[in-house]
Amino acid sequence: MSQYITEEEIPKYCASQAGVEVGDLIIASQLIDGYIGKSFDVQEVSETVNVNAKHRGKLKHYPIVEIKSLTEIMITPLGVNRQEVDIDHIVLDADNDGYFYYISNKSPFAFIPYGFCEYEPKAQRLEVSYSYGYDVIPEEIKVVCGMLAQNIRQLQSFVGFKRLNTLDYTVEMANPSFFTQDMKLILDKFR
């Protein structure tokens, strides 16, 4: 369950509306998740990624917090080989946008039953387990969360809702000023 502002931070981010409670913050956080289509909380996932000829690949979820494990899936003359490798073989781009370089330390020679031959096994795919999200919630998200929580408290009920999707449910809002254009502009850069 997302909650982007703690109870201690209510006076900082919700100063213009008295009586904002933790429940208002949770609803506001879920509305943000629904608008953006993802959560900012740290989550763990495993996925299989193709690596191109330039040793590049892309993970679906980002920003990446930590790579947990890495398994090479290689096609060799003897078939498919899976081998766990050190996580230092992945070098994430500085932008932390999911792109990475894969550095393999394989020998240029592979043993096959009929002797040695020049064959360089290349990782065709990688199975990567990693965590992604934000260790620290971005300031813009906290500001929007505070604005939404104050609007929720001001309305005191969901009577004014027409329609807004969260990750878990859909709410309808009759008053479009509840989720303002300014809030949407701030959140759009996280989509």
C-alpha to C-alpha distance for 78 and 74, rounded to whole angstroms: 10
Q: What is the pLDDT of residues 165-186, one digit of tens each?
A: 555 655 555 555 677 888 999 9
Position 127 scores a pLDDT of 95
Q: What is the pLDDT of residues 9-38, one digit of tens each?
A: 999 999 988 889 999 999 999 999 988 888
Q: Buried b / exposed e across 157-187, counting CB within 10 Å, b at 16+?
A: eeebbeebebeeeebebeeeebbeeebeebb
Position 107 scores a pLDDT of 45
pTM for the full predicted model: 0.70
Q: Please give the full DSSP string across 100-125, using - where no structure is assigned.
A: EEE-----SEEEETTEEEE----EEE
The domain locations on the chain are: 7-40+136-188, 43-132
* Angle, in degrees to the nearest 10, between helices 139-155 and 181-188: 150
